[in-house]
Amino acid sequence: MIIVLSPAKTLDYSFSEEGIDFSVPPFLTKSKKLVSNLKKLKKSELSSLMGVSEKISALNHERFQNWSQARKPSALAKQAGFVFKGDVYQGLEFEKLSKKEINFAQKHLRILSGLYGVLKPLDIISPYRLEMGTKISFAKNKDLYSFWKDEITNHLNKDLKSSSILVNLASVEYFSSVNTEKLNSRVINPVFKDFKNGKYKIISFYAKKARGLMAKFLIENRAGSSEDLYKFNLDGYKFSKKESTEDSPVFLRK
């Protein structure tokens, strides 16, 4: 089983990386090419490209100017699973996993990234913000999807050689970077619904946190099959066979 998540916009480098294992992102050369192009942009151009405020564009302009192909941990190059914060990662609580659980996550959890392509949770990353949907074009690439799709898909296929299931807990924006027609696996897309105003519906904030909760559940229980996935029951969610299809299991919470 391979579990796929989106990254987070919020980053936290305040933790101590001492004593924590680390790995290196697989596509640093491609990341460097991206950064080389982003470094050329003015703050105002970054603001327009990324659709962010002047303050955020200034921060990320500085990040791109200082970005490096980090190959070992430092104050500004730490393990992605600990660095990423936000709704999904509030559910995952990677920092609370045991060493054995982190080792399982390293083998089975993948994080899609606009700058790095695909990451293992212990891959070290420098501060950045670059959403997969950003319409940056250069060379023969019209956007980040065309820039990353082959590498991400091929990399996931290597991870899936001994597995027949990919659990997609990423957003539509990020999972669109995967060519599902070329994946060597069955893709399962869990859906999380909460009860509000008399009916069950997808509520974005809760659904994001639930994706992290499910990733946490699968890691803690060393999940390896769809049957394990259906047992998910954190924070009051329960599997609904009636609402589900084979590849889109639905979990409800009142």
pLDDT per residue as tens digits for the range 40-53: 999 999 999 999 99
- For the chain, percent of residues with pLDDT exceeding 70: 100
Tokens for 72?
Answer: 């070992």
| pLDDT confidence of residue 17 | 82
| pLDDT confidence of residue 103 | 97
SS3 42: coil
Confidence of residue 254 (pLDDT cuts 50, 70, 90): very high
57-88 per-position pLDDT tens digit:
999 999 999 999 999 999 999 999 999 999 99
| pLDDT confidence of residue 78 | 96
Is residue 213 left, alpha or beta, with left meaning phi > 0 and alpha meaning psi from -120 to 50? alpha
Q: What is the residue-averaged pLDDT of the chain?
A: 95
Residue (of 241, 223, 236) closest to 104 by Cα position: 223
Residues present in the chain in total: 254
Average confidence (pLDDT) over 9-26: 93
Residue (of 15, 47, 207) closest to 129 by Cα position: 47
132-183 per-position pLDDT tens digit:
999 898 878 899 999 999 999 999 999 998 778 999 999 999 999 999 999 9
CB 135 within 8 A of CB 41: no
Distances (CA, A) of 165 to 108, 133, 168, 188, 229: 11, 26, 9, 7, 11
Beta strands 165-168 and 2-5: pairing type? parallel
The structural domains of the chain, with segments of one domain joined by +, span: 2-253
CB 122 within 8 A of CB 106: yes
| pLDDT confidence of residue 164 | 84
CB 132 within 8 A of CB 144: yes
DSSP letter (8 states) at residue 170:
S
- pTM (predicted TM-score): 0.96
| pLDDT confidence of residue 110 | 98
Helix H or strand E encompassing 155: helix 144-159
Residue (of 117, 19, 35) closest to 46 by Cα position: 35
